[in-house]
Amino acid sequence: MERRHFISVAGGLGIGLLIPGVVYRYLMRGTNVGNANIRAYLNDGPQAALRAITPTGDFYLTSSHGEPAVDEKKWSLTIDGLVKNPLRFSYDEIRALPPYETTLTLECISNSVGGRFIGNAKWTGTLLKPIIERAGVLPSAKYAVFYAAEGYTTGHPISRLDDPANFLAYHINGEPLPRQHGFPLRVLMPGRYGMKMPKWLTRIEFVDKEYLGFWERQGWSNTGDRKTQGIIDDPRNLSRITGDTFVVTGYAIGDTSGISKVEISIDGGSHWQEVEIFSNPNPSQVWALWKFVWKNAPKGKQILRARATDGRGKLQSSIDSGEWPDGATGYHTIEVTVG
């Protein structure tokens, strides 16, 4: 069962919504690294991370209240609450605003270390900050509450809306957002987990106190800052490899500070060596791609681990923790057999 279906059934049975966080990742749809196949981009140079695009049909999916079919002719986006100039935009009016295009990697807070619920896509929309400035947020406002058509809500402190990279998206990979990905509009904020960026966006309300949204009221993080991770994409866990030399590939992701270094251990964590980050074109928004040439790999079963350092020089956590309540941590570890 997918997460959104499980939530609906649970509610109908009177079970409630306090589902243990450890099971969330089994109730969603996703694919291994969004079918990006990082090895295929080894020869694409510094821009490879921007070309490692997840097909829209493979991009991971989550929702809390189902996937509403929104009529674009009846839909509108409202900006109100503690603002000088309340605003309302139709779909055509949003699309008439200055366009913004970028590549952005998204990850679900319920993603396990090295898990499936991550994807990289090309997005088209319009920047959020100019709209907020046009509304004129009052000094008494402390939080912005985001509302979605299917009933989902989440909140952000006012300071987070100052990021000029935040935007409203209406296209993914050159096409209008499909229904399941939030048509007609979703908000995207680099460096945050997906739960803080609602699909089917209908309203942004400014309020004078902290706001806890749908998942946050159940104990999930109210900040949603993405954890730093270094991940081995190829070889896969429990695979068999042959030859004296093998190229290990992977990606690293973090918050808005990006990634400054990735290291690998080929002896289970006793020793570490820095790998080559061959593509890191937009550290605050897109995954960094790395490779390691493994020479004279010893025969038999071997344990490989990866770790990353963010743009501030902080090494990722080595503590193995589950996804609940603020994202999984720990070094990605795989076992391979060298033949």
Residues 6+ apart with CB under 8 A from 272: 263, 264, 265, 307
**Consecutive H or E run containing 247:** strand 245-253
Res 33: pLDDT = 52
- Distance between CA atoms of residues 330 and 336, nearest Å: 19
HSE on the CB side for 300, CA within 13 Å? 2
Res 312: pLDDT = 97
In the chain, where are the structural domains located?
30-218, 229-338
CB 35 within 8 A of CB 117: no
The torsion angles phi and psi of 179, rounded to 5 degrees, stand at: -50, -45
Q: What is residue 218's DSSP assignment?
A: G
Res 66: pLDDT = 82
Res 29: pLDDT = 53
The letter for the amino acid at 19 is: I
Strands 245-253 and 288-295: antiparallel
- Mean pLDDT per 10-residue section of the chain, whose length is 339 residues: 30 32 41 63 93 94 87 97 98 98 97 95 98 98 97 97 97 97 98 97 98 96 97 95 93 97 96 98 96 95 98 98 96 97
The letter for the amino acid at 12 is: G
Q: Is the peptide bond before 86 cis (omega within 30 degrees of 0)?
A: no
The torsion angles phi and psi of 265, rounded to 5 degrees, stand at: -120, 130
Q: Specify the pTM.
A: 0.89
- CATH assignment, 30-218: 3.90.420.10
Residue 108: both structure tokens together: 């679900």
With CA atoms as reference, report the closest residue to 207 among 151, 134, 158, 135: 158
CB 266 within 8 A of CB 238: no
Q: Give the torsion sign (CA, 278, 283, 288, 290).
A: positive
Residues 6+ apart with CB under 8 A from 139: none
Q: Which fold, 229-338?
A: Immunoglobulin-like (2.60.40)
Q: Is-same-fold flag (30-218; 229-338)?
A: no
- Distance between CA atoms of residues 177 and 135, nearest Å: 26
The letter for the amino acid at 40 is: A
